[in-house]
Amino acid sequence: MRGLLLFVSLVAVLAVQAFAHPHVFADVKVKVLYDATGFVGVENRWSYDEIYSAAMLSSVDNNGDGKISADEQPPLQTAILGPIEKNNYYNYVQAGSDFLKARKIRNFKASMVKGKLVLDFVVDFSMPATADWTMLVVVVADPTNYIQMTSDMENADVDAPKSLEVEYFADALDGLSLFKAFRSEIEGLYLRFKKK
């Protein structure tokens, strides 16, 4: 009975999230990063809508120059990425039936580009390469739909050393990504890698 109640509760929460409407819009570009050890991270570039951008800029632009200076970077990182740390910074990496836990954020940089707030940062992960293929699915999305994140996985990139063999493709087939069960527009990036 307890399991049934937990299942019903989970379905109710997901149903509410599926019908939530976005308040913020962001275009997302990703690059998947490897080093000699294997998969090590996802480089993110989030470009926000003009309204959200103006609001966030006004909240940190102490000198009123319309730019984001070095001392205004940390408050933006805390305000935007701090609340979503427990959600892997909306970077979901699935390996088999498990999701990898984000290790940390690095190389955070916020800037204003043509009136839009642009965040660049890397989310570090760890999945060692072996002699056999390892399959990953990368999704960058807000499952609550508060932020409508449009990820262009068709133009995603991969940076890997020559010692690894890496193949990847965007989720062009309906229903492959686990997240499509909740929101059909979410795209995943499928990767497989191994040592050469």
Does the domain at residues 21-195 carry the CATH identifier 3.30.2420? Answer: no
Nearest residue to 92 via CA among 193, 194, 188, 171 = 188
The pLDDT assigned to 144 comes to: 84
pLDDT (tens digit, 9 = 90+) per residue, 30-53?
999 999 999 999 999 999 999 999
Q: Which residue has the tokens 């499952």?
A: 143
The pLDDT assigned to 11 comes to: 39
User: Using an 8 Å Cβ cutoff, are 49 and 25 in contact?
Assistant: yes
Lowest mean pLDDT among 21-25, 78-82, 99-103, 130-134: 21-25
The pLDDT assigned to 118 comes to: 98
Lowest mean pLDDT among 100-104, 112-116, 146-150: 146-150
Lowest mean pLDDT among 11-25, 57-71, 84-98, 164-178: 11-25
User: Using an 8 Å Cβ cutoff, are 152 and 113 in contact?
Assistant: no
The pLDDT assigned to 22 comes to: 82
Query: 127 in helix, strand or coil?
Result: strand
The pLDDT assigned to 187 comes to: 83
The pLDDT assigned to 176 comes to: 57
pLDDT (tens digit, 9 = 90+) per residue, 86-113?
999 999 999 988 899 999 999 999 999 9
User: Using an 8 Å Cβ cutoff, are 125 and 177 in contact?
Assistant: no
The pTM for the full model equals 0.84
The pLDDT assigned to 178 comes to: 61
Mutual angle of helices 50-60 and 73-81, in 10-degree steps:
130
pLDDT > 70 fraction of the chain, expressed in percent and rounded? 83
Name the token pair of 109. Answer: 């940089």
Instruction: Show the DSSP H helices in the chain as ranges.
Output: 2-18, 50-60, 73-81
Name the token pair of 71. Answer: 């001392």
Which sign does the torsion angle of CA 56, 60, 65, 68 carry? negative
Residue 134 to residue 124: CA distance in whole angstroms? 18
